[in-house]
Structure 1
Amino acid sequence: MTADRPTAPGLSLLVRLPGREPALWHTGLASVEHQVPIGPDTAFNTGSVAKQITAHLVLLAARDNLIHLHQSAADLLPKLKPADVTVAELITHTSGLRDAETLLGLAGLRDLDHYTAADLRTLAYRQRERAVPAGQFLYSNTNYLLLVELLETVHRTDLADLARRQIFDPLGMHATGFQSDPRQVVPGAAAAYRPSDNGWQHTQPPAALPGPGSLFTTAGDLDRWLGHLHQQWQHDGASLPWQEALGYRTADREPYLYGPGLYAAPRPGNTAVFHYGHEHGFSAATHLTRDGLRIVSLSNNTDLASDHAAAAVLRALDQHPGQDLDELLPLAAEHARRTVQTAAVHSKDDDGWPHHEVGRFTCDQVPGALRLTRTGDTLHLWRRGTPDRLTPAGPATWAGNGYSLTLPGDTGDIEGFTLDLDRAPHLAYVRQPS
């Protein structure tokens, strides 16, 4: 079923009840400028939903004795400094390695600057120790970036070729593939958009992150993948997919666990595994229950969040189990709409006071430098050439957008600070000589 006469980017939503044929609903445009509607063959970037594919390939390599899950990852990646980080810890986000993409912003990279996997690995290999204690969950794309390098090392081929031969071709996922280069043409691919004052604006930068952020696929192909995952789950007889090979660990939100690229939600009588992805304006969600319910949601519109759509489907199925899916899916898509909030950044604060330089600060874990300035009693941290106004959050702590800055003492003569980003904590910055 398709919504009529779309005028904006949109969503592809698939639901398969246990033992039933899937219901597929799509709305919106794959290409706004060319007025191409989203259809069953439209491919979307899945973002971190791809982690379950990468993890699956690692587990297959472990089954074939090419990799040992509890061996040091540095055995295969000699540039990796924390030598005690295991392959299993990379899979379950318990390595303590900071997120390399997050560090790019601190290194001065701008939104439209091109970067490569090699650039991100360079940032990963600058880290000499874990940012959090061993076993503590820290979601980080660096883990899966390194897993890709590990796979390519033992198989002597690239991720795109490996995934095609071992997963996509055998499952008939012929519209699915990893985009190894952002210039690569992906057949049937949607473009991603966000609303602007003049209509719609493209969101994709000239970069592709292998493993966690470069998989393009369709809703139908992801349904095939979830069917294979469910079959494996049933065959193993474990409470969670691949659990005998890899134990699930406590994740960042209770009561969820994290395993091979999958969150697990223990539900009485019907455990579910799921993952969400947000990548350069695209969003994606997959949800699979032990009894075989499958939900796939793919969006190229920042105002339509795939995870919200999947959650709306689950709520509707719980509240109205007999509701017709042709009625349910459009309602779920409408519930997924969200308002994008933007904030203007100015070179002066709200009172018009000029910025006074505090100093430039560097960290040996990240290239480049950050600036601190002061307007009156307010501090500003400069990244990518623009200032973030910091809000006092404690006696020596200041809050920014997605991070906090902690001073060793008062704000009189600042010689250094600790920067804690959501996915890159405990970065020590020191003041550089004038």
Structure 2
Amino acid sequence: MPRLRTLLALPVLLAPAASSAPSAPPADALLPLLVTQGGAPAAALLTRDKTGTSYFRAGHGITRADHFRAGSVTKTFIATVVLQLAAEHRLKLSDTVEQHLPGLVRGAGNDGRALTLRSLLTHTSGLYDFTAATGGVVPLTPRQALRISLAHPPAHRGRFSYSNTNYVLLGLVVEQVTRRSYAAEAERRVIAPLGLKGTSFPGSRTALPSPHGRAYATDGTDVTELDPRVAGAAGELVTTLADLDRFYAALLDGRLLPPHWLREMLDTRTAHGSYGMGLYPVTLPCGTKVWGHNGRISGSYVRTAATIDGRRVLTFRVDTDAVADPALEPALLAAEFCPRTS
């Protein structure tokens, strides 16, 4: 199979089951299907609720403590930092890109004077996704990624169009406002306060921290060694299952953002229901809505979803680029978050 060209693919929802259908199996019972039907060498799942955590795995060479690349889950961390800065009145979501990065966004009909930070956060800027040209496997500096993007005309502004370029720009805005790197700000504001000891922004380091398993492209190539600059602020993060569960629980229960700014993060109106700011909702067949993000980068696919209050969180991962059967992800979410009937 060819390498995937983006760092995020929105999930496909299952049709609602008939009321007479038998109860769905628990998520851990479905996990082995990520290996047998999903084509992954191994899969792991960690859930968190008021009773504690539960861990399950399928396949070989994967453990609970493994560090792995989280791809576009990075965007939730970056969006959180931007919204914290907004809460501190150090920027406004209505600010234009031009105000913070003068002259940087120009060319092929792109104009930073017409783009707001809100449009970057919600993927409604219309900026071309640079990973569509690089396949998400070419290490780039932020400005190199922007040059690729700005060589292409924008899509229709105001409509949701997922683009990693948006979050590369937000990383630069964070650096301009704080005079520190987006990685340093995320460490200071999110990672350290929550005690996410397995989470880091590796920069150009190609090796994963220990412990870790192997990572495989969809063609079976070992891609454990990877330059994270293929994604930058749009997908650089390295983390663990436990850290992602803890982060999303803390974010959604209000420990990282004041109530007004958490509501802004969860407001999907700008993107017409598709996306908030670094998070997106999925309504399951039973009517339950969960919030989270997925991440795809060469050798790793991860998905985190949580209830809106953060009291129940599920994170699963596979050690390859994608899950071959698109029905498995929504089935896992429904099995975890939908009430079971006898």
TM-score (norm 1): 0.60
Query: What are the residue-to-residue correspondences of 1:374-385 with 2, within 5 Å?
Result: none
- The residue aligned with 1:11 is 43
State yes or no: 1:315 paired with 2:337: no
- 1:148 CA displacement: 0.5
- 1:258 CA displacement: 1.0
- The residue aligned with 1:22 is 53
Q: Is the 8 A contact 1:285 1:306 kept in 2?
A: no
State yes or no: 1:123 paired with 2:142: no
Q: Is the 8 A contact 1:297 1:310 kept in 2?
A: no
**Structure (1/2) with the larger helix percentage:** 2
Distance 1:234 1:44, change over 3 A: closer
Counterpart residue identity of residue 215, structure 1? L
- The residue aligned with 1:202 is 222
Larger RCO, structures 1/2 (Cα 8 Å, 6+ apart): 2
- The residue aligned with 1:80 is 105
Distance 1:236 1:307, change over 3 A: farther
- 1:143 CA displacement: 0.2
What 5-or-longer segments of structure 2 have no aligned partner?
1-27
Q: Is the 8 A contact 1:265 1:271 kept in 2?
A: yes
Counterpart residue identity of residue 43, structure 2? L
Largest Rg, 1 or 2 = 1
Query: What are the residue-to-residue correspondences of 1:49-128 with 2, within 5 Å?
Result: 49-78=73-102, 79-81=104-106, 82=111, 83-104=113-134, 114-126=139-151
SS in 1 for 2:185: helix
SS in 1 for 2:128: coil
**Structure (1/2) with the larger strand percentage:** 1
SS in 2 for 1:168: helix
- The residue aligned with 2:314 is 295
Aligned mates of 2:241, 2:167 — CA distance in 1: 23
- Given the alignment, which residue of 210, 233, 237 partners 1:187? 210
Distance 1:125 1:21, change over 3 A: same
Counterpart residue identity of residue 177, structure 1? S
Query: What are the residue-to-residue correspondences of 1:277-426 with 2, within 5 Å?
Result: 277-290=295-308, 292-302=311-321, 304=323, 309-317=328-336, 321=340
Query: What are the residue-to-residue correspondences of 1:235-314 with 2, within 5 Å?
Result: 242-244=262-264, 247-249=267-269, 251=271, 256-265=273-282, 270-290=288-308, 292-302=311-321, 304=323, 309-314=328-333
- Given the alignment, which residue of 226, 236, 261 partners 1:214? 236
The percent identity for this pair of structures is: 28
- 1:181 CA displacement: 0.6
Q: Is the 8 A contact 1:90 1:144 kept in 2?
A: yes
Distance 1:126 1:174, change over 3 A: same
State yes or no: 1:147 paired with 2:178: no
Deviation readout 1:27-79 (Å, 9 max, x if unpaired): 344xxxxxxx3222101111111111110010011111221110111111111
- Given the alignment, which residue of 173, 178, 185 partners 2:196? 173
Aligned mates of 1:212, 1:222 — CA distance in 2: 16
Q: Is the 8 A contact 2:65 2:211 kept in 1?
A: yes
- 1:116 CA displacement: 3.2
Distance 1:187 1:20, change over 3 A: same
Aligned mates of 1:235, 1:141 — CA distance in 2: 23
Q: Is the 8 A contact 1:49 1:277 kept in 2?
A: yes
- The residue aligned with 1:228 is 250
Q: Is the 8 A contact 1:11 1:301 kept in 2?
A: no
Distance 1:156 1:186, change over 3 A: farther
Aligned mates of 1:163, 1:231 — CA distance in 2: 19
Q: Is the 8 A contact 2:293 2:304 kept in 1?
A: yes
- 1:217 CA displacement: 0.6
Counterpart residue identity of residue 333, structure 2? L
Aligned mates of 1:232, 1:22 — CA distance in 2: 20
Distance 1:147 1:202, change over 3 A: same
What 5-or-longer segments of structure 1 have no aligned partner?
30-36, 106-110, 324-434
